[in-house]
Structure 1
Amino acid sequence: MKSERVLRSLPFVVMAAVALIDLLAGPRLGFLPLLTLGPTFASVSGSIRRTALVGVIALALCIPLASYNRLLLTPQNNLTIATIIAITAASMLAGHLRIRRERELANVRLVAEAAQRVLLRPVPRKAGDLRIALSYTSAAAEARIGGDLYEVVTTPYGVRLLIGDVQGKGLEAVETAAWVLGAFREAAYDEADLPGVAERLETSLDRHLGGERFVTAIIAEVADGEISLLNCGHPPPLLIGRDGRARLVEPEEEGVPLGLASLGPPLPKPHRVPFGEGDRILFYTDGVIEARDEAGTFYPLMERAHLLEVADPQGALDELRSDLLDHIGGPLLDDAAMLLVRRQST
């Protein structure tokens, strides 16, 4: 990356500038102590060995410059040399601590990512007369691991889907996602209706979560000619008819996120909407609609609905993901999960 190249070259640029200024200014102003900036900057991004090398170069510049200025072996110059050595040693220690911390964070991130991959198993591409596509885009490297989750299961009651977003980041969010997915995979087969599934999820979260942590989610069930949606504080899905008309399916009743049922109204009733041959519905997390470009403009999902008219659901979703990344012009700052379901003739 460009910023990394700048940081790596900064110590040498600074020391060269100090040497040049000292040559031009002469001994009167005493710029040689500023050579300590070299190893100081080196400790920010370089290795311990690189920091030591920069310190040696600083000394190599200091001695001939002091001789040129007729300051060699003077108390002033001896103090400057001692300062360069001391700051180089301190910078090496700081670099060691930084590298160790970076390794620890990298290991934690790898563990969290591995846990996410285990939890978020691949969804089936076909389920009955449904074709299903998935897109999951991880956040930028600087961001912590998120808690987006999804699942599709075929049950005796029909195909049931879940998409959700856990409050917070990191391993705690991954752990919460594990509880939600585990509870859903059991309840989807056991419960005869969506409110029963939601109650099982709520019970599981109430048992394992503390404080006011929560999960926004949509639980859906596809039946003959319609789809039932139970929205628990999650962004509404985008329904696209076979005629190309798109609309957001807002819930008839406002529902609080899972985990907050004790603080709000009872769980809402499922909202049924027609879902026939050729219709598509897009589920997504807030990482999609909250993605911004350089001007701070949110991603206009409704305006991009036409990208989902491609017959192949995965191709359509890949096109939408590419457009999303083009909109922000860089990496996402939050995970973005999208689940596209298309009904076709059997």
Structure 2
Amino acid sequence: MKTKFIYFIALFITVAITRAQDIERLEFIADSLNLSEEETEALVSFKMYSDSLENTFTYIYDRSMLNGDVAKIIIPEGYKFLDRDQAQRVLSDIWGNPYDDSVMGLLLKEDESPVETSYAIEISYSEEGYIEDDDAQDMDYDDLLSEMQSDVKESNPERSKLGYGTVDLIGWATKPYYDQDNKKLYWAKELLFEDEETSTLNYNIRVLGRKGFMNLNVIGDMDTLEDVENNLDPILGSVSFNTGYKYSEFDPDFDDVAAYGIGGLIAGKILAKAGFFALILKFWKFIAIGGIALIAGVKKMFFGSKEQPVIEAHKDDSEVS
């Protein structure tokens, strides 16, 4: 008992010293950047808030089931996962999104937190039927982009009525690609939201199954595109359907077929959520030190400059999509 008590006292002192050292380091960085007293206080307060909030989460680093036993995620190295309830808390309570019952979890970089994140991957499940993929190989994605850009412009008045900012679809950040063998589709859009100076990346991944699809939605600034592309293989390989729900197990006598194909899946409407997510990423960066440009310098000085490794996914031979 005495040993445990001494251990906890030592742990408390270590944490206190670490936090004090972090604050001193932040103040030194703020001084070197010639920040005002108010900006320095905001930076320190933000760091303390971020650390306190981070301690309330329980991250998963190995694997987790999704939507009961429908699918699973094997967490890629370099990432961490928040389960359904914690993901809902982040998306709704912290980031201010409307509650979405389809959300199954949230994937974050291992060295980041919900309020200090370059990008996050929202994982959800949509049971809209078996998606026939006959149209995938013959699709003209340039024509599809033109149609989508027209649809976005036409939807902007309605977005404004609902209280959301207008959005422009600039173009493909990554052109659509469909992996016929593994039934996985991905593409990325470059979006520009009203009153924003920088574009938003909306990277979409769909894993097709027997009754619907898993949706991995990556949203961040455009400068995160390279990181996402470098880690695309492990991200793609992280989510798979379990036996009984795989695409190859479709039964036309019992299963419903979706009312759209691959083209309709790509051309789906831009959700208001993308705007919320882009806003919150910029908002937290802004309050940290009063400007988006400065946060990159602070993060580099505070956390150090390091190469981003290409991450390898954990292999799972028991389930093959």
Larger Rg: 1
Same fold at TM > 0.5: no
**Counting helix residues as a fraction of each chain, which structure ranks higher?**
1
Q: Which TM class, normalised by the smaller chain length?
A: under 0.3
Q: TM-score, normalised by structure 1?
A: 0.26
Question: 1 or 2 for the larger relative contact order (CA 8 Å, sep ≥6)?
Answer: 2
